Amino acid sequence: MTPTSKPRLRPFLELAISTIIAFFLLRVAFLIAFHPGATAASSGDAVTAGEVVHSFWLGLRFDARVAILLALPILLISLIPGFHWRNSIARKIWSAVYTVVYTAMALLFMTDFGYYAYLESRVNVTVLHFLHNPRISLGMVNETYHGWAIVLLVIGLAIGFWFYFNRWIFNSAKQTPITALDRPVLWRWSRGLAVTLLVLFGMWGKADQYPLRWSDAFYTQNMFLAYLAMNPVHYFLDSINSRNQTFNTKKAGAHYDEMADYLGIPPHDRDQKNLSYARPVEPTPAVVDGADLRLQGANGRPPNIIYMVEESLAAYKTGLFGNSPEATPNIDAIAQQGWLFRNYFTPTEGTARSVFCVLSGIPDIDSKSTSSRNPLLVSQHTLINSLKGYDKFYFIGGSATWGNIRGVWMNNVKGLKMYEGDTNLPGPRTDVWGLSDLDLFRAAAKVLAAHDPNKPFFALIQSASFHRPYTIPKDHGSLQIQHLSQAEIQKYGLKSNAEWNSLRFADYSVGQFFKLIKKDPFFKNTIVIIHGDHGLPHHDAANLKEGEKFFGINRFHVPLIVSSPLIKKPHQFNRMMSETDVWPTILGTLGVQGTNTTMGRNVFAIPKGTPHYAFSYVYYDNPLRLFLYDQNYLVSGTPHGVDGLYAYMSDTPKVNLKDQDPERFKKMSSLLEGVFETSRYMLYHNHEKASLLP
């Protein structure tokens, strides 16, 4: 008699489908339970049926990934030749394992509902902090939710899961007299291929170059809809990956007074007990360096702001800093007609880290991943929200799923609208980064030209063309491709002619963008901010000093340019400036009030003679290599201690001066430790959107 058993794929499919159905019902319960407070808990906009459906569709894909992962062991075991579930011992062992897993998952869902009711957020790894005081936490749960009822419910669910797995999923009673050889080979192969594709698509989550990520839930400004789309198991596991990204409150507190002085926090705004760094944005004085640098909008109207983050625009690559005048002629001309900050530095390398810093004003100190990818850091106070009455846009040639940029920007910038080359920006896809800079700028200019002229706007445009693979699109306008000699390539700090022409194409695209927007009426009342997202390795470029190369400062040094018809007179500034300083400086210059909670200052408001530094670090060094520097001196070290002081721009940049100039070394090394510890602390404490304004 032919041995019979459940078909190999049925247990896998039954468990996956039943789990998805259970997740769907729990999402419906979440909607029913919390929908009444959805509007108040989010942006204030009413929740529409279409948005709910979209959140459910996103949620279905999160659910499918979790369900497939849970059922995948069954599928893999079923592929073992001759294996079947008729073995009662194996069936009971697997039933027990899955009973424990699903009971724990049910408990997580119960915790999630209570967590949301209390904090209006889905459960994440921070819930484990309550275990630090288990007696108090369990007492609160017992008094609030009737702990005995929860215990009985969990026991009942465990019994139910046991019967479900033992009597249904792994049950051999429902036997079918089918063997693998009873089916044609083609049928068996096609079935296997279909299941394989189902598993792969379910795990990837969407038809895109980037897989489904937790940040995809933040497709809207309404946070209830984002939370509705999330799967608590998925989100909790995502947050576990970030559990070790820690800070040291004690060390940050030890440097509080020093950092309060350095950040210019007024005495009446200081709060060492709560480590509060909130203070008003400093206004720009009437006269700075003998000139009036305050910017006023035309006809008393707030000016538009276009913020261009240029991929890999290292300072030494540009003509502005001694490279070939043919490298960046358009950017050079724009800088010469506006403001150029010659000593401007990013905290570290990496585009996602830079874009996070633009938003938050905090150095993205995370050695394992970027803060934008950390669900625990998705909420950040941003000075961009001080632009009251502004429409806000984000333009990117590819997908904002990259680096989970969508999550942090949509979650924090009020009223932001995303334009992505992968979805709603027209133009041909050039390479892995989506639209070329030229097509991106053309599309952005078209959107901005159609914008309501009676409302000011803020638009961030993130370029990507000057990046490997250095693709020059078929449509590259009137740009002529050039070929340098090997000697010229080495002199300019390049690796190839492909890199050279890619740099020139990025510059050409910026020039074309300015030609387009200058034709529109809005340009007369517009401020354009341009800076690189980070620098690059020096490749022994001839226009760099030995100390810059030795310490790798070229990796952080980028040009910062402010261009506008509102600027009264072109100017070049030599004062030190960091990426964290951009928004305080711009808002202070515009006279916009706001509450600064992080690391930046309005550099125009820093009293003359008061030192200001740039802080940078190498995120891929272990331990991290830290730097604090001004125009002449640099201290370097690790989180374990500062080991040297160097006159890095002198003729002897490698000589350690810590014993020759102990006072400077002590002051700068202490400040380096303070900036590092305070930045780490701020990353996890900048979500309390504190405001000193009424």
| Predicted local confidence at residue 144, as pLDDT | 59
- More confident of the two residues 38 and 176: 38
Query: Helix or strand or coil: residue 335?
Result: helix
pLDDT value of residue 259: 98
Determine contact, residues 501/470, Cβ cutoff 8 Å.
yes
pLDDT band at 41 (very low <50, low <70, confident <90, very high): very low
* End-to-end Cα separation, the chain, in angstroms: 84
Cβ partners under 8 Å of residue 161, min gap 6: 98, 99, 102, 103, 106
Helix, strand, or coil (residue 326): coil
- Residue range 233-259: mean pLDDT, rounded: 85
Tokens linked to 506: 């990025």
Instruction: Give pLDDT, residue 239.
Output: 78
pLDDT band, residue 580 (cuts 50/70/90): very high
Domain extents in the chain: 10-240, 266-601
Average pLDDT over residues 8-22: 90
3-state secondary structure 360-423: HCCCCCCCCCCHHHCHHHCCCCCHHHHCCCCEEEEEECCCCCHHHHHHHHHHHCCCEEEEECCC
DSSP letter at 308?
Answer: E
- Using the predicted structure, report yes or no on whether residue 120 has a pLDDT greater than 80: no
pLDDT at residue 39 is higher than 60 = no
Amino acid at 114: G
User: Would you say 357 and 679 are in contact if contact means Cβ atoms under 8 Å apart?
Assistant: no
Q: What SS3 state is found at 672?
A: helix
> Which of 63-77, 85-99, 569-583, 657-671 shows the lowest per-residue confidence on average (mean pLDDT)?
85-99
Average pLDDT of the chain is 89
The CATH code of domain 266-601 reads 3.40.720.10
Which helix (H) or strand (E) segment holds residue 225: the answer is helix 223-229
Q: Using alpha carbons only, what angle is made at residue 550 by residues 549 and 555, rounded to the nearest 5 degrees? A: 50
Q: If you average pLDDT over residues 270-295, what whole number do you get?
A: 91
Tokens describing residue 328: 């960046």
On whether the CB atoms of residues 463 and 437 are closer than 8 A, the answer is yes
Tokens of 149: 């009822």
Query: How would you classify the pairing of strands 416-420 and 391-396?
Result: parallel
Q: Return the higher-pLDDT residue of 325 and 127.
A: 325
* pLDDT value of residue 692: 53
Cβ atoms of 226 and 91 within 8 Å: the answer is no
Report the predicted TM-score, pTM, of the whole model to 2 decimal places: 0.83
Residue 295 vs residues 291, 394, 564, 587: alpha-carbon distances, Å = 12, 24, 9, 10
Between 374 and 517, whose confidence is greater? 517
Output the pLDDT for position 208: 79
Q: Model confidence at 24, in pLDDT bands (50, 70, 90)?
A: very high
Mean pLDDT of 73-91: 77
Q: What is the pLDDT of residues 436-489, one digit of tens each?
A: 999 999 999 999 999 999 999 999 999 999 998 999 999 999 999 999 999 999
Task: Report the C-alpha gap between 418 and 247 in whole angstroms.
Answer: 32
The two tokens of residue 377 are 């850091």
Q: Return the minimum-mean-pLDDT range out of 168-177, 204-213, 515-524, 562-571.
A: 168-177
The confidence score (pLDDT) of residue 632 equals 97
- pLDDT exceeds cutoff 80 at 242: no
Packing angle of the helix pair 10-34, 49-78 (nearest 10 deg):
150
Residues 159-178: tens digit of each pLDDT: 999 999 988 888 754 444 44
CA distance linking residue 523 with residue 304, whole number of Å = 8
Q: From CA 25, how far away is CA 19, in angstroms rounded?
A: 10
> If DSSP codes are grouped into helix, strand and coil, which group holds residue 198?
helix
pLDDT above 80 (res 135): no
Range with the poorest average pLDDT among 99-113, 285-299, 557-571 = 285-299
Pairing relation of β-strands 304-310 and 457-462?
Answer: parallel
**Burial status of residue 297 (CB atoms within 10 A of its CB: 0-12, 13-18, 19 or more):** middle
Quote the strand ranges of 172-278, DSSP E: none
Q: How do residues 583-640 score in pLDDT, each as one tens digit? A: 999 999 999 999 999 999 999 999 988 999 999 999 888 888 999 999 999 999 999 9
- For residue 128, pLDDT over 70 is answered with no
pLDDT digits (tens, 9 = 90+) for 657-684: 999 999 999 999 999 999 999 999 999 9
Residue 233 and residue 231: Cα distance in Å, rounded? 6
Please check the confidence at residue 253 and state whether its pLDDT lies above 80.
Answer: yes
CA distance linking residue 523 with residue 530, whole number of Å? 15
Given a contact cutoff of 8 angstroms between Cβ atoms, the answer to whether 561 and 340 are in contact is yes
pLDDT for 182: 54
| Amino acid in the structure at residue 217 | A
HEC readout, 268-301 = HHCECCCCECCEECCCCCCCECCECCCCCCHHHC
Least confident range from 368-377, 556-565, 570-579: namely 368-377
